[in-house]
Amino acid sequence: MKTYVITGLGNIGREYAGTRHNIGFEVVDYLALKHEVTFQPSRYADMTFYMLKGRKIVLIKPSTYMNLSGKAVSYWLQQESPEQFLIIADDVALPLGTIRLRKKGGAGGHNGLDHIIETLKTEEFSRLRFGIGNDYPKGMQVDYVLGRWFPEQVPVVTERIQLAAKAVEEFVLGGMDNAMNKYNKMPETI
């Protein structure tokens, strides 16, 4: 049986719930809800899994906080020995709601991705970058990223979380090339 580990990046705790930096958590939460599975606290992460057409999809939400995400990713890759794995992260460089899948790449200033690269000692891993926009004054990036969605952003984000979940399942069922061809061509904004 082929196993896939899908990691949504975010920060644990009520004060971070619903923030832009937690979009990775929101995408895996949506997948868990859709497939009627429940996250359970486990080592370095909340974890659950479901079966999709003979494939085991392991969803994790690191409980290490964003800046130490590599610890959770490394542990669960060792535990599950997946066929492939995918990291879902927010990206201020992309317009709100834009989804970009990549087979590899740098951290782009994202502390969670940076720690994963540092821990795994490679940039060669698949990721789904979810655009959160950059609608903030100079010097206010941290407040924006750790802030909650503006009311007018919520409908776009809700719709794009569902789209990102479809992209994740396309990655599992059809491979990264198919997922990139299908979902990277989507309009940047809706």
Of 21, 35, 110, 115, which residue is the catalytic one? 21
- Domains (ranges, CATH) in the chain? 3-183 (3.40.50.1470)
CA-CA distances (angstroms) from residue 46 to 38, 137, 162, 183?
Answer: 9, 34, 21, 27
Selection from 163, 179, 20, 185 nearest residue 90 by Cα? 20
Selection from 101, 106, 129 nearest residue 117 by Cα? 106
- Residue range 79-125, pLDDT digits in tens: 999 999 999 999 999 999 999 999 999 999 899 999 999 999 999 99
- Residue range 32-63, pLDDT digits in tens: 999 999 999 999 999 999 999 999 999 999 99
Helix ranges (DSSP H) in 35-129: 69-80, 111-120
Predicted local distance difference test score (pLDDT) of residue 188: 56
Res. 190: pLDDT tops 70:
no
Annotated catalytic residue 35: no
